Amino acid sequence: MTAPLLALGQLSGEGVLGINGRNVTYVSVMNDPRKMRIVDDKVETKRIAERAGVPAPKQLGVIEINARVRRLAELIGERKSFVVKPARGSQGNGILVIGDRINGRWRTTSGKPISDEALYGHISNILSGMYSLSGLSDVALIEEIVTFSDTFSKVAPSGVPDIRLIIYRGVPAMAMVRLPTAESDGKANLHRGGVGIGVDIATGVTCGGVHHDRCVATHPDTGLDLAGIEIPDWEEMLMMGARCYPEVELGYLGVDLVIDKTRGPLLLELNGRPGLAVQLANAAGLKARLDAIDGVAEELRAPAERVAWAKAAFAATQQS
């Protein structure tokens, strides 16, 4: 009986945030449900990004009703690659990334062939709400594909790597890179087998990672070191995250970014309920950092001030 109690004490001593703590202390207090609904909608997120002056992948169009499914061709024009997303999807579910068209069939970036019929069926499923959070009907978002920069291509050769920032009251609190694995089918979601890598807020250099809730040092597919990768435009990324905050007014906010080869960092989506695995990736408790931010949040006004404070406060000094 004492072992679990001891473990509880250690978790709390480390400042680890649990699901209940996140929901009760942060999400339910800092995040207005109406505003969470807005960020749950990727079409709305695009508008927020525009208002905040944060670049995002170009939106080709929105399919709202089943009768319009076949007008996909008009929206994509001559493109052979594009992304289909449910506007209200969660955790990357229902996202289809088409990379090419070969012999009259589409092909996903992971190489899976898809007939026109199956693609339309997928969009119909999105519209019927199969992937939406509430199960209510949804709309499908057609987006330009992101050409990923090769920052992570050596460690994780395929799929969609992204960068998750935890922005608390406008201040970057913690960050991680999410890399796909063979197991996660090109997606970077950690619960599907993706790898999370902690990032030093001060420098944008990666440290150790997490895979299936275990701390790891190397990528499970390539065996390459996860630590020591320098993320380009790190300062700009932190600024993007900090700039989103005044537009969405969510105190506890997850900002997901990708790096495009030509356009640089782009805002992929916002999340009003970001997960807690980031703590394992950084081998640090989130609660401790959120408490620190609570102490200064009132004084930090401009996004630049917040970013500067965070870089100083959360520098990974103890990392060797």
Q: How far, in Å, CA of 283 to CA of 228, rounded? A: 15
- Residue from 280, 292, 307, 310 touching another protein (CB under 8 A): that is 280
Query: Residues 239 to 278: which contact another protein by CB under 8 A?
Result: none
The interface mask with another protein, positions 159-178, x = CB under 8 A, is --------------------
81 in Cβ contact with 88 (< 8 Å): no
Cβ proximity to another protein, 4 vs 33, nearer residue? 4
What x/- string results for residues 285 through 304 when contact with another protein is judged by CB under 8 A? x-------------------
Q: What is the DSSP string of 42-63?
A: HHHHHHHHHHHT---PPEEEEE
Distance CA 310, CA 292 (A): 10
Of the pair 19, 312, the CB lying nearest another protein is at 19
Is residue 213 close enough to count as binding another protein by CB under 8 A? yes
Amino acid at the residue 51: R
Distance CA 131, CA 242 (A): 29
Tell me how far apart the alpha carbons of residues 245 and 141 are, in angstroms, rounded to a whole number: 23
Pairing of strands 195-199, 105-108: unpaired
Which residue among 2, 4, 67, 298 contacts another protein (CB under 8 A)?
A: 4
How many residues interact with another protein (rule CB under 8 A)? 41
Reduced to 3 states, what is the DSSP secondary structure of residue 157? coil
Please identify, among the stretches 55-63, 141-149, 166-174, 280-288, the one whose residues bind another protein according to the rule CB under 8 A. Answer: 280-288
Question: Tokens standing for 108?
Answer: 């996903």
Segment contacting another protein by CB under 8 A, of 9-17, 37-45, 229-237, 299-307: 9-17
Judged by beta carbon, residue 211 or residue 219, the one nearer another protein is 211
Backbone angles phi, psi at 145, to 5 degrees: -75, 150
Residues engaged in binding another protein (CB under 8 A): 4, 7-8, 10-14, 16, 18-21, 23-25, 66, 91, 93-94, 117-118, 120-122, 124-125, 128-131, 191-192, 210, 213-215, 279-280, 283, 285
